[in-house]
Structure 1
C-alpha cells in the first residue's frame, strides 16, 4: 500500500526525547492505507530520496491526546520538511500501538521499532 501526505507541524514531543518525527496531515488516504493503529516499517520518498522509516499511526496516550496522529521517524534524515509531500510505501506492520506510562518506556519502544524497521527495510531492498 502506498499513499502520499503533506508534512505538517506537530507537537514536537519526539524532539524532546531524541526521536524527531515528520507529522503527516491525517487524511482519508492515510486512514485507508493504515488499517489498524500501530507501528509500520515504511519506505518514504521525500525530496527525491528514499528513506527507511518507522511510522506510528494512533493515539499518543502518554501525552493525553485523543485524536490519532500519523508520524514517521525517518532513518538517516535530519532537518525540516514542513509543507512538503512525502510518498509512503508500507512495507510491514511491526506492532500494535501500546499505552506507555513514561518517556523512558517510549524511548525504548522507539529504539526497538527503529531496529525492526531497518531490518525490514534492508530485507525489502535485497
Structure 2
C-alpha cells in the first residue's frame, strides 16, 4: 500500500472548509425557520475555490470561501399620518385606524396602562 496522503477536502486547512460550511448552513436553517421569509424558495450555499499554480507547476496556492444566499424577509407595509405639532414641526405617527388625532377608547373596560389618554376618559358605566 502507498503511504501517499491524497488530497482530502474534509482535512483541508485543518478542517476549516467544513467549519465554514457549517456556519453558512446554520444561517440557511435560521432563514428557513424565519416565518417572515418565503417558505418554499431555495437557499444556496456556494463554496468557491481559487487554485493558483506556481510557475514550476509543482505547487499551488489554494484559497476558498463559503457564502450563502438567503431569502429576504417579506416586504411589510403600514400607513402614517403626517401633520404639524403646536410648534409647527412636522411629525408622523403610524396610522392604526380611526381618524388621525382621535383618541382610541378601549371598549372591554380594561385600562391600557400604556395609553396616557385613559385618565381623560370617563367610563360611563362607572360614573353612575
- Band the TM-score falls in, shorter-chain normalisation: under 0.3
Larger radius of gyration between Structure 1 and Structure 2? 2
TM-score, normalised on structure 2? Answer: 0.18
TM-score, normalised on structure 1? Answer: 0.18
Q: Which structure has the higher relative contact order (CA within 8 Å, separation 6+)?
A: 1
